[in-house]
A = this chain, B = another copy of it.
Amino acid sequence: MASILKDFSRLCLHTMTTRPWGIETCILNYHAAGIHGITLWRNVLENKNLSRVRTLLDDHGMHVVSLCRGGFFPSTDAAKRQKALDDNYVAIEQAVAVGAPLIVLVCGSEKDQSLEKSREQILEGIVRLYPLAEKAGVKLAIEPLHPMYAGDRSAVNTIRQANAMAETIHAGSVGVALDVYHVWWDPDLESEIKRCAAQGHLFAFHVCDWKVPTTDFLNDRGLMGEGCINIPLIREWVESNGFNGFIEVEIFSEAYWAEDQHRYVEKIKDAYLTKT
């Protein structure tokens, strides 16, 4: 059995989970709710003075878990691939500025070429990126995305593929971000978690739930316990293989974004203690 979660010391919220809130509001309200893990989505950093953001984070004892997101490497156009890489360099600078030790990579996919070609370009992109990330003291996590995103968001669709890619790159700074939403269906999940952790590649653990039915490809994720994912079991696999980092709640949901976000954060806290 997974460890019992008795407090919120390992709880992290993604700013995208409470999308209506800007960065300052997130920091103040998460802090007030007793939550001190935060993953910053880059949209909330746009046009912000990052040193002030960092001060606000520090002043409220916030622990920045990661920056979301880098990636989107593939394109049929070399200039666009370079542009994507340049944007990843910017992400590294932002991560340094706000004190994020990790960047999550949504690797991208190009519908006008084969998945194999996209995967080659992803590998090439990460190989070019990680030395700079290492120099900056920032790690990179390849996030396998659900196969329903293979056409547009990521050609890396299983933890096995992410593991293989991290092993190929073989750098201490490149690992895997595991989101239950993307991988819960995978018959090889348990063994691939073991493999990932054994290589020291399990960098992040994201939770939410898969609603039945799900009505939107992007923004109909469920709160833990609302869907069919056995989150405690996956958490047990993760923890029994040595992971004891933050449990990051990443929920995209038009329905929840329309609610009062304070009440929503309380629901998340309850689901975190009882359904995660």
Contacts and interface: CB of A to CB of B under 8 A. Distances in A.
A240 interface: no
A90 interface: no
Nearest to A185: B150
Interface in A198-243: 210-215, 217, 227-228, 230, 233
A148 interface: yes
Interface stretch (A73-81, A121-129, A151-159): A151-159
Contact of A212 (B151, B158, B214): B151
Given A212-B111, A217-B214, A151 B187 contact: no
B213 A152 contact: yes
A56 B89 CA distance: 66
Contacts of A211: 151
Nearest to A213: B152
A146 interface: yes
Give the contact-size bracket for chain A.
20 to 34
Provide the main secondary structure of the chain A interface: loop
Report copies per complex.
2
A155 to B, nearest CB: 8
Nearest to A161: B187
A205 B237 CA distance: 37
A115 interface: yes
Contact of A230 (B114, B217, B227): B114
B228 A151 contact: yes
Contacts of A115: 185, 187
Given A114-B230, A147-B146, A215 B217 contact: yes
Contacts of A186: 147
15 contacts: A111-B227, A111-B228, A112-B228, A115-B185, A115-B187, A146-B148, A147-B148, A148-B214, A151-B211, A151-B212, A152-B212, A157-B185, A157-B187, A158-B187, A217-B217
Interface of A: 111-112, 114-115, 146-148, 150-152, 157-158, 160-161, 184-187, 210-215, 217, 227-228, 230, 233
